[in-house]
Amino acid sequence: MKILILNGPNLNLLGRRQPEIYGSKSMEEILGDITRAYPETEIEYFQSNHEGELIDALHRAWLHDNVSGIVFNAGAYTHTSIALADAIAAVEIPVVEVHLSNVSAREPVRRQSMIAPVCCGTIAGFGADSYRLGVEALLKMLCKE
């Protein structure tokens, strides 16, 4: 089974950017933890600061890459991008929305998710574990199908 972890803008700075909010682990460390936790699962990773590249990655995952599920931290695009919501709705792959911080406890603009209605679930506020929990949720859901 193949899971894509997809990250949006500024998440290339994990481990360095505002560690009091986003934690001190780099994405490489988080991916290592996930790979060790789920050795039978193929984990792919893609990050972009560009909305169109994220849309292309969603399309590619569905049309070409044989991806079973996606764990998606859309970063700030979560709160603004109807285009990403449309892309998630178009692909026939379950997507779990994840956030490192508890977005519901942050600024009002971060409390609205444009993508949540088209995702199968949302995990937020558990730091780096949000990604692992997203993978775990997808695997449980996919194994029931």
Contacts of 50 (CB under 8 A, 6+ apart): 9
Q: Is 64 a catalytic residue?
A: no
Q: Is 22 a catalytic residue?
A: yes
Q: For residues 42 and 142, give the distance between their C-alpha atoms in angstroms, rounded to a whole number.
A: 14
Q: Which residue out of 22, 38, 59, 64 is catalytically annotated? A: 22
Whether the CB-CB separation of 1 and 142 falls below 8 Å is answered with yes
Q: Which residue out of 38, 64, 99, 131 is catalytically annotated? A: 99
The CA-atom distances, in angstroms, between 121 and each of 19, 48, 63 are 25, 22, 22
Count of Cβ atoms closer than 10 Å to residue 91 Cβ:
18
- Kindly list the catalytic residues: 22, 99
